[in-house]
Structure 1
Amino acid sequence: MKRREFVGLTGLATGALFLPSIPGLASSPVDPARLLEAVDPAIKKRLADAALNAAKSAGATYADVRIGRYLNQSIFTREKQVQNIASGESYGAGVRVIANGTWGFAATNTVTEAGMAKAAQLAVQIAKANAKVQKEQVKLAPQKGYGEVSWKTPIEKNAFEVPVKEKVDLLLAANAKALDNGASFVNSALFQINEQKYFASTDGSYIDQDIHRIWPTFSATAIDRSTGKFRTRDGLSAPMGLGYEYMMPKAADKIAGPSGTGLIGYRNSYDILEDAALAARQAKEKLTAKSVVPGKYDLVLDPNHLGLTIHETIGHATELDRVLGYEANYAGTSFATLDWKAKNAPYGSKLVNIVADKTQTGSLGAVGYDDEGVKTGEWDIIKDGKLVDYQKTRDQAHIVNQDHSDGCSYSQSWRDVQFQRMANISLRPGKEKLSVDEMISKVDKGIYIAGRGSFSIDQQRYNSQFGGTVFYAIEKGKIAGILEDVAYQTNTVEFWNSCSAICDQSDYRLFGSFFDGKGQPSQVSAVSHGSATTRFNGVNVINTARKIG
């Protein structure tokens, strides 16, 4: 079958798969236009009230309902071929209650008034059974009801409205750019997610939200066929909480990287064709690059790299459930315990100011309200180098003597219970004007690192090792060529205390994690981490290609 026929037929089949039994969406199963229609909030309110009333009648002192419709589409290509186009939809409801001071949860894909009431009654039964072994009753921070409100990701173009063929053609064009510039192999992908979420609670909230996320990515590989040696350079995109406008590059969104690298930083739009061409050239350059000499270096870290380090060493370390040991069996604990915080020891240098923010436009974690109906906002995690707060949900606030939630509750779907997930955790940019080239000019012996790479970190989020995508030597204030086999080893406190300079707001960009895993059963969430290019002095660098012994 020709590619054009394949894409056309796949789009038609997708339309048939996307239409379950959803109230108000009855239509021909091959009418793609119907896929974009949302369920009427009035219908969802009636369904939610059926669950809330049933829960209270069964003995619940609190109840919340989440009705969710989740759309996703993933497109995969390699060189000149389409490998796969996968589209899916999930629709159902989850009911969470407190009865006899204990949580209970049940979910259903029978989204009718009778089905919702039945799920609510089951949730109460589960809560009462759990209460027999519960040691302490649940204490919820107070939360006012907001009535009927709504929130939408401020997108310009819905990715699900864009024809599949147009998206496939863009990915294949990126592949062609990589091949034309020296790549031996290239694959690319485009992930798109739309969460249509409705929340209602006995506090009096009825919240309708429409959330969009998108992630284009690729990997270009160059091979030296005479030696069999190969090197890869991945795309430097960041997954974003935006629509398809992210794939429509604007010159104003581009930020030049260090002189001598050709790198471009992208803010609110991404030029996949430009990045693919550069990636192929850099992959070829890496084939003959010098291998790093181990030692102490000043590191200049691009936001697309530093975001992962922030995620692992601060984002996870300051989740209160991990701090309290709730995640110890699966994901580990944190060195940043309540006792450690009480010592007022420096987490980083005085330049380090880390903020949690679930309202930042374009970020993956941006929502108007969390999955407990808490209005989201911004708060300090680290201020002037000192740990000042954690990330919390309603039933955790009292543990740290606070009377409010931070709005950190999230569930990946209607069938999974919501629990504490990471907010957008970002490093505030420097206050003084400082460009990347100016920062590099003050480095005598250093390495510039861009892009995410392999990493390792211990169960307490303390000792770690991070690689990257592309590395450049810095010698006497100048970029001095590409390097290979670079990784840095450090511990969290040592690393952040070595922070010596941060570029200003004009260099600020977002890094993102599209599939961040946590919990048992495991769930994924999406979260962004913002920063400007940042310098760290005297960090231990190892050579990953050298054998020990």
Structure 2
Amino acid sequence: MKRRDFIYLTGMGAAATMLPGIPVTGRPITPEEALMPVDPALKKQMADVALNAARSKGATYTDVRIGRYLNQFVITREDKVQNIVNTESYGMGIRVISNGSWGFAATDKMDKESIAKTAELAVAIAKENSRLQTEPVQLAPQKGYGEVSWKAPIEKNAFEIPIKEKVDLLLGVNDAAMKGGANYITSLLFMVNEQKYFASTDGSYIDQDIHRIWPTFFITKIDAATGKFETRNALSAPVGMGYEYLYARPQDKIQGITTLYKGRYDMLEDAKAGAAQIGEKLKAKSIEPGKYDLILDPSHLWLTIHESVGHPSELDRVLGYEANFAGTSFLTLDKWQSKQFKFGSNIVNIAADKTQPGSLGAVGYDDEGVKCGQWDIIKDGILVNYQTIRDQAHILGLTQSQGCCYADNWSSVQFQRMPNISLQPGKEKKSIDDLIKGVEKGLYIIGDGSFSIDQQRYNFQFGGQLYYEIKNGKIAGMVKDVAYQSNTQEFWNSCVGIADASDYRLGGSFFDGKGQPAQSSAVSHGSSTARFNGVNVINTSRNIG
């Protein structure tokens, strides 16, 4: 084994150990290798081999996904570089319909013979599956687009930025936090490039280049006198952008209590603020339980949207397909069919969108070759739609898919995944200050934290990073040990105010888990700051029961 390979292989294992929940897959490569693309003409040739082989064995429909998935981690702690990891996963997944049933097979051997055998295996699996199929797959019609391409509109490819520049940034962030009083800090940059090629018997050959980046840190400060400690995580959002995300501009800054930016992120400034705020948290008073009006920042609200709106409006969950692993949904079909289910107050409008620039879920076409778009989930407080893919569309009487199909790797079969789900901004001019001014007894919550929600995505509890008490329309100081409890319908019906579009920001997750075998996807959730009245708040440091 070469020394370089040994370093990368051991590094992968160490990185995975230090970052629980972050999947590290693929073979180790150098940063230079990551910048060497695969010729689209070659990918088309390989796709045609699979399409022809599947057709010759009796497939009535076939789609092919050739994927090259690149990951880069740069991880530091205090004044040391912990790890630098570069990986690549490259191969082909082939999905077919034969005898009215799905079949799937995948290979990382990209020669013609191996591709043809994999296509034949997919057809054989479909035919075997058809013995248990109660009714044939019904695919919504989809026109072919011919040869097209889509690229994320990035300004700076993060994989082209020298490693030294990234390391210097993170060590600078760590130094600023330590000088500000932090005892420990871990910081990291995680960069993803998905190079995806889709071909189908519908006549599409789609080449896509997708980029994502997530800068984050985790700060801890200990009170030497008491031994108690507090933490503060970064207020960054993972985004579908290039390295330009880390170049914050003055015009992007949101005026508020802490460092918040619209569409950009200043990691150094956030670390400085975080170190100071963690000291405040150690001294902050513990919250008195009771009913509070909540002002929820987008850096917090994204997670509540994800869990209480995004997941329950997935049609496969509604139909019970995810019951064994991830649960079901309280948003049953009868509620949608009634056309009057009051999900939220009249000002609550929540849309699905696969095209929003800078979002994690933004693509031109989904993994079924469906051109992506936008549609309403909640309109004026009423449940009006779900999230669907091609073999679900007929259940809702739709004539086409909504483009919600995704696989996290070439070796994984694509299935229904969440698009970007976002609360739409208020229509009247309104700022964060305007929302706070009207609150007599309340809390302003910034950043996401721990949460719990039941298997139907109905009863829940959420925490955050920073909590500020509001008294008589003014911020009265920091508090801690806060979580709020509600159920989804009650919570969204308590929404009485939403800031305007000037405050609209994205949050999101790199690793939304679902399916068996489990897959992870990246998804964003946007909102402006919003107010929710009369929500139950508990003290998390006190025993319950």
* TM-score of the alignment, normalized to the shorter chain, above 0.5: yes
2:390 pairs with one of 394, 409, 414 = 394
Cα deviation, residue 33, structure 1? 4.0
Cα deviation, residue 267, structure 1? 2.0
Which amino acid is the alignment partner of residue 409 of structure 2? Answer: S
Is 1:221 matched up with 2:220? Answer: yes
**What is the match of residue 480 of structure 2?**
484
Whole-angstrom distance in 2 between the partners of 1:42 and 1:308? 41
**What is the match of residue 529 of structure 1?**
525
Helix, strand or coil at the partner of 1:170: helix
**What is the match of residue 137 of structure 2?**
138
Cα deviation, residue 13, structure 1? 6.7
**What is the match of residue 352 of structure 2?**
356
**What is the match of residue 96 of structure 1?**
95
| Percent identity over paired residues | 66
Helix, strand or coil at the partner of 1:376: coil
Moved more, 46-55 or 29-38: 29-38
Cα deviation, residue 299, structure 1? 0.1
Map 1:45-444 to 2 at 5 A. Answer: 45-257=44-256, 261=257, 263-343=258-338, 344-444=340-440
**What is the match of residue 5 of structure 1?**
none
CA contact (8 A) 1:10 1:85 kept: no
Whole-angstrom distance in 1 between the partners of 2:156 and 2:32? 15
Cα deviation, residue 323, structure 1? 0.4
Query: What's the TM-score, normalizing by structure 2?
Result: 0.94
Cα deviation, residue 85, structure 1? 1.4
CA contact (8 A) 2:31 2:86 kept: no
What whole-Å deviation, never above 9, does each CA across 1:58-102 have from its counterpart, x for those lacking one? 000000000000100111111001111121100000000000000
**What is the match of residue 23 of structure 1?**
none
Cα deviation, residue 383, structure 1? 0.1
Helix, strand or coil at the partner of 1:452: strand
Moved more, 245-254 or 501-510: 245-254
Moved more, 71-80 or 308-317: 71-80
CA contact (8 A) 2:29 2:87 kept: no
Helix, strand or coil at the partner of 2:368: coil
Tell me how many residue pairs correspond in the alignment: 526
Helix, strand or coil at the partner of 2:195: strand
Which amino acid is the alignment partner of residue 280 of structure 1? Answer: A
CA contact (8 A) 1:93 1:414 kept: yes
Cα deviation, residue 30, structure 1? 8.9
CA contact (8 A) 2:287 2:482 kept: yes
Helix, strand or coil at the partner of 2:449: coil
Whole-angstrom distance in 1 between the partners of 2:29 and 2:324? 46
CA contact (8 A) 2:34 2:88 kept: no
CA contact (8 A) 1:250 1:269 kept: yes
Whole-angstrom distance in 2 between the partners of 1:10 and 1:316? 42
CA contact (8 A) 1:11 1:164 kept: no
State the superposition RMSD in angstroms: 1.7
What whole-Å deviation, never above 9, does each CA across 1:402-453 have from its counterpart, x for those lacking one? 1110100000000000000000000000011101011100000000001000
* Structure 2 unmatched ranges of 5 or more: 13-27
CA contact (8 A) 2:152 2:241 kept: yes
* Structure 1 unmatched ranges of 5 or more: 1-8, 19-28
Helix, strand or coil at the partner of 2:335: helix
Cα deviation, residue 31, structure 1? 7.8
Whole-angstrom distance in 2 between the partners of 1:59 and 1:214? 42
Cα deviation, residue 12, structure 1? 12
CA contact (8 A) 1:355 1:425 kept: yes
CA contact (8 A) 1:410 1:419 kept: yes
Q: Aligned in 2, Cα 1:441/1:407: closer, same or farther, shift over 3 Å?
A: same
**What is the match of residue 446 of structure 2?**
450
What whole-Å deviation, never above 9, does each CA across 1:111-169 have from its counterpart, x for those lacking one? 12222111110000000000001111100000000000000011111111111111011
**What is the match of residue 26 of structure 1?**
none
Which amino acid is the alignment partner of residue 504 of structure 1? Answer: D
Whole-angstrom distance in 2 between the partners of 1:508 and 1:75? 29
Is 1:541 matched up with 2:540? Answer: no
Whole-angstrom distance in 2 between the partners of 1:215 and 1:177? 20
Helix, strand or coil at the partner of 1:370: coil
Which amino acid is the alignment partner of residue 391 of structure 2? Answer: D
Whole-angstrom distance in 2 between the partners of 1:195 and 1:13? 24
